[in-house]
Amino acid sequence: MYIDLSKAFDKVKLDKIIESYHNLGVCSKLLEYLKIYLYNRRQFVSCNNTNSELRLISSGVPQGSRAAPLTFNVIFARIRVPGFRVFKYADDMKIVFEFVNDIDETKVNGKLLQLSRDLEDFGKIINEHKSFFIIPFKDAISDLHISIKGIRIEQTFNVKDLGVRYNQDMRFESHMEKFAKQFVSRCIQISTIIKTDRLKCFLFKMYARPVVDFCSAVWNPESQVFAKKFARSQKRFRRRLSSV
């Protein structure tokens, strides 16, 4: 199950941030620095050379700073769902649970409700309309009603997880198809625009090859069709190098 948080970085409560660092054993002097950094910040809106009045920022962490993702991870570390495995990355949350036969809707919905309340205590709100779940190796279950506060969480059959696409059968054809086209396109761009072999090789390693290297341990071409497609593209690129 993939949980989406609404304005996650903007809504986190400042007192909960300090409390979380304190519980980790951060010394009082550093906590004072954090308070200076987080509290008494102000903002205004500028439009057509007209500025609004300054408003005090009562929640959230400054985005783009080094402290923002660290602070978010510190708070997320305190979120637990007993009986479920929770994976957290920045403001994304993924929950994994196992079932033998049928899914116990009451149990799952109860845990999701508690998770929602725990997150709200930190100032984070679950966006039920952008959250979804996938059941590997299962077709659609029409009578399954997974919900948070009565709002139904939809079942999906294709997922993009940290840049890697897969379907309910845990296959990666859509991912490989997209990245194969992108890889071929970048190889063509490099070989037609760049004139020197040295620069072509450099751009191939820095611009084209990372496309197929990204998470390749997960989606490593499982079909001969895609494996041959990637191999052909690399061979064509090598033939365009005058020194090879």
Distance in angstroms (rounded) separating the CA atoms of residues 131 and 5: 8
For residue range 50-90, list pLDDT tens digits in order.
999 888 888 888 777 777 777 777 877 778 888 888 887 76
- State phi, psi for 222 to the nearest 5 degrees: -90, -10
The pLDDT of residue 30:
87
pLDDT band at 180 (very low <50, low <70, confident <90, very high): confident
The pLDDT of residue 244:
44
- State phi, psi for 241 to the nearest 5 degrees: -85, 120
Q: Tell me the average pLDDT across 35-60.
A: 87
For residue range 110-132, list pLDDT tens digits in order.
888 888 888 888 877 788 888 88
Q: Tell me the average pLDDT across 178-182.
A: 86
Distance in angstroms (rounded) separating the CA atoms of residues 110 and 107: 5
Q: Contact 96/85 with Cβ under 8 angstroms?
A: yes
From the number of C-beta atoms within 10 Å of its C-beta (0-12, 13-18, 19+), residue 126 rates as buried
The pLDDT of residue 84:
86
Residue 88 three-state SS: strand
Q: Tell me the average pLDDT across 187-200.
A: 87
The pLDDT of residue 227:
76
Q: Which helix (H) or strand (E) holds 42?
A: strand 42-43
According to DSSP, the residues that pair with 13 across neighbouring strands are 59
- Is 139's pLDDT higher than 70? no
pTM (predicted TM-score): 0.75
pLDDT band at 142 (very low <50, low <70, confident <90, very high): low
Q: Which helix (H) or strand (E) holds 225?
A: helix 224-239
Distance in angstroms (rounded) separating the CA atoms of residues 8 and 75: 11
Query: Hunting for tokens 């690129």 — which residue is that?
Result: 237
Q: What is the mean pLDDT of the chain?
A: 83
The pLDDT of residue 206:
92
